[in-house]
Structure formats: C-alpha cells, structure tokens
Amino acid sequence: MADQSKIAWTEATWNPVSGCSKISEGCRNCYAERDWPRLTRLVPAYAGRSFENVACHSERLDQPLRWKRPRKIFVNSMSDLFHPDVPEDFIRAVFAIMAAATWHTFQILTKRPERMREIL
C-alpha cells in the first residue's frame, strides 16, 4: 500500500492481506508482528485486531493497477500470502492482479512453500 518503502530491496509494498501466525524458527524476530501495535494506531483496517487475526483486504486488490510507474512491489510485507487462513480464491485474485500489472515486478516471500506449491 505504500508507494515508497524503506526496505532496501524493494520500491513499494502492497498488503492485500494483513496478520500472520508463527510457523517456524524463521518467524522468531518477525518485524511485522513487532510493528503491529504501532500500525494499529495508524491504519484503520488494522485497529482493534490482534496480529494473529489474519484479514484479507479486497479493497486493496487493485492498488498495483493504479501505480503507473513500473516498480518492484513487495507483496504482503505484513503477512504471508500463503497463510492457511487466506482463502485460495483470494490468493488467485492477487495473482490475477499481478498478471494484469505486467509493468511491475512482484516480490513474494513465504514461510509456507508447501501451500504455495499446492495452489500454484
């Protein structure tokens, strides 16, 4: 959702999903969970929710289509697209937007490659 990012290896972030739950040792120092209390005060869609309460934000799906300048976009910097609480249809909708926005480069990180393989 941010047209700019402080993350060195990307240019923007797009969060059609927010929230997550720890699945591995790699989640121990999760910055998204650490930043969640601050973000719940700044982002109305996050207010009143715990980080473990995964939510899909369909109103954010078309965001990359509105960015006309090509950029590297980190998908779900505040979640894992392949979390079990994200419906498969929603994941497919995210991929449909990425397929339509050919001028962008999308970056997806997941701790759940098994689910990614099942769906894709």
Q: Give the count of domains, the chain.
A: 1
Q: Is 5 within the bounds of a domain? A: no
Domain ranges, residue 81? 12-119
Answer whether 75's CB lies under 8 Å from 94's CB: yes
Is pTM beyond 0.85? Reply is yes
Q: Is residue 41 part of a domain?
A: yes
**Both tokens of residue 18?**
């927010």
Q: Which whole number is the average pLDDT over 10-14? A: 94
Give the lowest-confidence range in 37-51, 75-89, 105-119: 37-51
Residue 97 belongs to a domain: yes
Query: Which tokens in the block code for residue 16?
Result: 């059609």
4 occurs within a structural domain: no
Cα separation, 100 vs 55, in Å, equals: 23
Model pLDDT for residues 94-114, shown as the tens digit of each residue: 999 999 999 999 999 999 999
Q: Which of 80, 37, 74, 36 is nearest to 56 (CA)?
A: 80
- 8 confidence band (pLDDT: 50, 70, 90): confident
Burial 37-63 (b: 16+ CB within 10 A, else e): eebbeeeeebeeeebeebebbeebbeb
Is pLDDT larger for residue 64 or for residue 25?
Answer: 64
* Over residues 29-55, mean pLDDT: 90
**Minimal CA–CA distance to 22: which of 79, 60, 94?**
79
Does position 2 have pLDDT exceeding 90, yes or no?
A: no
Position of tokens 């998908």?
A: 75
Q: pLDDT by residue (tens digit) across 79-99?
A: 999 999 999 999 999 999 999
Task: Report the alpha-carbon distance of residue 55 to residue 17 in Å, rounded.
Answer: 6
